[in-house]
Amino acid sequence: MIKLHDVSVSFGERTVLNSLSLDLTERRIAIIGANGSGKSTFARLLNGLALPTSGEVLVHGLNTRKKGRDVRRKVGFVFQNPDNQIVMPVVEEDLAFGMKNLGFSKDDIATKTDEVLARYNMSDLREHPAHLLSGGQKQLLAISGVLVMAPDIVVMDEPTTLLDLRNKRRIARAVAALDQMVITVTHDLDLITDYDRVIAIDEGRIFADGTPPDVIPAYEKLMS
Partner 1 sequence: MLDLYTPGSSFLHRLPPAPKMLAMMLGATLLFINQSLPVTIAATLVIFALYPVAQLTLKQAFAQIRPLLIIFVLFFVVQWYFSGLELAAYVVLRLAALILLASLVTLTTRSSDMIDTMTHGLSYLKPIGVNPEKVSLAISLALRFIPVLAQITREVREAQKTRGLERSVIAVAMPMAIRAIKMADDISDAIDSRGYRS
Which residues bind to partner 1, rule: CB under 8 A?
A: 44, 47, 49, 69, 72-73, 76-77, 79, 81, 83-90, 93, 97-98, 101-102, 129-131, 145-146, 149
For residue 12, is it left (φ>0), alpha (ψ between -120 and 50) or beta?
left
Nearer to partner 1, 117 or 198 (CB): 117
CB-nearer residue toward partner 1: 94 or 219? 94
Dist CA 155 CA 141 (whole Å): 15
**Exposed e or buried b per residue across 27-48, where buried means at least 16 C-beta atoms within 10 angstroms of its C-beta:** ebbbbbbeeebbbbbbbbbbbb
To the nearest whole angstrom, how small is the minimum distance from the Cβ of residue 151 to partner 1? 10
> By three-state DSSP, how is residue 32 classified?
strand
- Cα–Cα distance measured from residue 39 to residue 88, given in angstroms and rounded to the nearest whole number: 28
Shortest reach from residue 93's CB to partner 1, in Å: 7
Q: Which is nearer to partner 1, 138 or 197 (CB)?
A: 138
CB 172 to partner 1: min, Å: 22
Please name the residues in contact with 193: beta carbons below 8 A apart, sequence gap of 6 or more.
Answer: 212, 216
Q: How far is the CB of 27 from partner 1 (least distance, A)?
A: 21
Closest distance to partner 1 from the beta carbon of 15 (Å): 22
Question: Which residues, 6+ apart, have CB-to-CB distance to 172 below 8 Å?
Answer: 160, 190, 191
| Contacting residues for 129 by C-beta, under 8 A, at least 6 apart | 89, 90, 91
The residue among 127 and 194 lying less far from partner 1, judged by its C-beta, is 127
